[in-house]
A and B are shown apart, each in its own frame.
Chain A
Amino acid sequence: MAWNARLVAIASLAFAALAGWEAARLPAWSQFDGPGPGLLPQILAALIAVAAIGVLVAPGTGEPEGGNASPLRSRGFLGYAGAMVGVGLALPYLGFGVTGFLATLLVLRVAEGAGWGLALFWSFTLVIAVTLVFGTALGVPFPPGPVERLLAPLGLVRLG
């Protein structure tokens, strides 16, 4: 855990530096006798740095949550992480239908080691179920991807 905590602390220091730099561009005091938009961000950037140093000094001991093994060695982790990143990047362009299907497929094959049959079946089923519940029943607008464009004229999905 100490290693992980130190990593977070260092990242926080970097964050504090960037934040402080950006905050310095805002006026710290306004013309009306009161704090300006920059005061609190500047103070916080400093406080974050101080707290980060405190964590560097006392990062804590014990096993990190999830075990000592590196996540980057776990197929499961890589599979899910990859799917998450893929969804984050592709969702507005490929729409929910395609993205959700591919993400589930990736997870089931890579992370869970399932066979093609099960993977394809569950990917289809899950995407259809979520689309029906959120899109058709609850009327949530969906990202305009190829599948959504097909379904919209049928009134099953609203494009957002």
Chain B
Amino acid sequence: MNRRQAILASGATILAAPAVRAQGAAWPDREITILVAYGAGGSTDVCTRALAGEAEKILGVPVQIVNRTGGQGTSAPAQVATMRPDGHTLATAGMAALAILPHVLDLPYTLDSFTFLPGYARYLYGIAVPAESPIRTAQDLIAQGRQRRVTFAAAGAPQNVGMFELNKKLNTRFGFVPFPGGAEAVTAAIGRHVDFVAQNPPEMLPALKSGRLRLIASASDVRWKEYPDVQTLREQGVDLAVDSVLGLVGPKGIPQDRLERLNSALLQAARSTGVGETVSRFGMVPAPVPSADFEAMQRRAFAEFGPHLRENGLARR
């Protein structure tokens, strides 16, 4: 599939070459590779492929995907940090790789190892309880959390860090029970093995729709489009919003003119309807975030998460 794409695109480029050369050899002149930090078929992979497809049309060169899994999302950024900063190799990077895992693992990179590019997809989070639970609103949850230990299932950060923040601010006792994946966490909640679950929409929707779970709040900045009547935590008076944006990074030192070209092309691609549709299918929100904002977001999260992770025994030091 990549071969065919490459051949077609090279053919098109060869035909267009005379015109391009007339303009003065614009960049990019050959294919761009994006390393995807998760396996093929996953949400990150498919959304990035959609983005790559759009970016191809704008940049006029093939944008190919290579899956570089492992290290819970860090191997792709780790590899790209070591590559030549010519703008031809990029990697996906999300909150896990940039803001959370640097506190937990010994990684060969820091936030300063990268040039930041735009973000394109935002993960939504929600809090749901089993249908039989007496908890109906976020305030109920906080009240319960102050009285007794309330356990919650989640696949990991950033939702658990959010709950830790609440523990600190509001004196609640939310106990985190980790599960290997979102679906397992949701099932644990359905089976009433834990008191509530904090996960993403795709994993929670089937149980919510069939009535086994009840959504009490959206944990993000916005309400879920499938449940527009369920308020966010902030709207219910709880000062927490769990935000996680997926974006691209490149090695530090990409030349300014190439960087601008990439930024504008990727931002445009992130705004396209094709990407928007694909992103929504995975229960995410399209998030064309300019690179400067994306970088600021990740740096802020990195600074905030450190203390919480340490206090809860999840960080190295």
Contacts and interface: CB of A to CB of B under 8 A. Distances in A.
Judge A-B direct contact (beta carbons within 8 Å).
yes
Interface stretch (B1-9, B83-91, B202-210): B1-9
Interface of A is mostly: loop
A31 B312 CA distance: 8
Interface string B208-221: 00000000000000
Contacts, number: 11
A155 B10 CA distance: 12
B2 A30 contact: no
B66 interface: yes
Contacts of B7: 155
A160 interface: yes
A158 B7 CA distance: 14
Contacts of A160: 66
Interface string A118-160: 0000000000000000000001010000000000000100101
Interface of B is mostly: helix
B181 to A, nearest CB: 20
A31 B310 CA distance: 12
A160 B3 CA distance: 14
A30 B313 CA distance: 8
Interface residues of A, number: 8
B168 to A, nearest CB: 15
B175 interface: yes
B313 A32 contact: yes
A92 to B, nearest CB: 14
Contact of B175 (A32, A139, A141, A155): A32
A32 B313 CA distance: 9
A155 B8 CA distance: 13
11 contacts: A30-B313, A31-B313, A32-B175, A32-B313, A139-B2, A141-B66, A155-B3, A155-B6, A155-B7, A158-B2, A160-B66
Given A32-B175, A160-B66, 9 more contacts: A30-B313, A31-B313, A32-B313, A139-B2, A141-B66, A155-B3, A155-B6, A155-B7, A158-B2
